[in-house]
A and B are shown apart, each in its own frame.
Chain A
């Protein structure tokens, strides 16, 4: 694992506090979507298919900060759309860092170099650029449906690292992923000098144009087992080792969708980052009125049967770490040995 120690302590303290208060449903990472606009149109993306007048809208910084306060999660992930196209991204990040939130700014990095050169951000242990990288050059360009994006992203990563920023990568894997290419990709990312990598299987969004290439559960286990059963020590993953074990089929976790609640211009999204089954006006309303029993694999909901996506299952893995000695031991062993 490559998460900085201070972040681990913050998360551990937060989770233990929730447990002491006997809160069964608590948020870990707020998924804050200030806009849906993007400068790419990846076929597997379910986030950007809206009419032009919706794509032109965005949240205000005040709306974002109200959501952050309401929810109280120690980490804030800013996906989108492309957050670097959000006109208030600099002030928003500054305000989040001032509140000591660990921020993951999820970007395709096309604009990263330019924004860094404009001096929009200041390096901080609270801020990490999480760069969308779906594999080696050709695999990535195919995944984002545009040639040349991989090279632009690499340039952005280099610039961010040169300026002293934390940089991680986030990779979504589809059924055409090859374990060997992915292992080469891990080497390449570590050579670049990123702090760590985040992996997740893709989810078959009802609103994504491409419905054909998502991984099913068994295939996910096979792919992740092949990729990670003999990991190099230099590969660092910026995520719970138990979540990686879950992807490999070594752990069985249920979804806890309230762990990564999503806020955007429509409100608090029910039930999770992936499904759009309605919106609540407040975070408390989301917690109190979402029929949670209808979601997750055990519910029988067919939309959840093959889902192994991080936003539903990584909070479960983190919760598991602090729920039993076994969970804690598994996490410590995986962290020390570097073997998920």
Chain B
């Protein structure tokens, strides 16, 4: 399979590699972006080890907002209160990047195995 040219692929992964600082982007917004993100993220916690995994839910209402994630290393389902989170880094690969219809047409036109 041929990979799309780097500039084309980069257009399709806008959040990959994003490392927002909580002084610049409010934490609830960072968590929302992590929830929408298609790849794994690294949750940096205050005074505890970072957790790498997929954020599949977040509850913003109530007195103690939290996110829920599957940890990449062992698949454990974890609940992390916002209060424990310093920030989130978008470290995982975006699994949809390079798979657009246009990318398929490019591969097809190039006669690549598809």
- A residues apposed to B, CB below 8 Å: 41, 43-44, 49-51, 53-54, 56-57, 142, 145-147, 206-213, 266-267, 278-279
Q: Given A43-B100, A207-B38 in contact, is the A53-B59 Cβ separation under 8 Å?
A: no
With A57-B70, A145-B114, A278-B58 as contacts: A43 and B99 at CB distance below 8 Å:
yes
Which one of B12, B54, B99, B105 has the highest number of Cβ atoms from chain A below 10 Å of its Cβ? Answer: B99
Docked pose: A91 CA to B80 CA in angstroms: 35
- Name the residue of chain A whose CB is nearest to the CB of B37: A207
A145 contact set on B, CB distance < 8 A = 99, 101, 104, 114
For the complex formed, measure the closest distance between the CB of B85 and the CB atoms of chain A, giving whole angstroms. Answer: 18
Contact in complex: B99, A147 (CB < 8 Å): no
Bound CA span A57–B69, Å: 13
The residues of B that contact A142 with a CB separation of less than 8 Å are 104-105, 108
Main secondary structure of the interface of A (DSSP, over half): loop
Residue of B nearest to A206 (CB): B36
Asked if A210 meets B101 with Cβ closer than 8 Å, knowing A51-B72, A54-B70, A57-B70, the reply is yes
Residues of A within 8 A of B68 (CB): 266, 279
> Chain A contacts of B114 at CB under 8 A?
145-147
B97 at the interface (CB under 8 A from A): yes
Residue on B nearest A55 in the bound complex, by CB: B95
Pairs of residues from A and B, 8 with the lowest C-beta to C-beta distance, nearest first:
A43-B101, A209-B99, A210-B101, A209-B96, A49-B96, A145-B104, A266-B56, A49-B38
Nearest Cβ on chain B to A302's Cβ, whole angstroms: 15
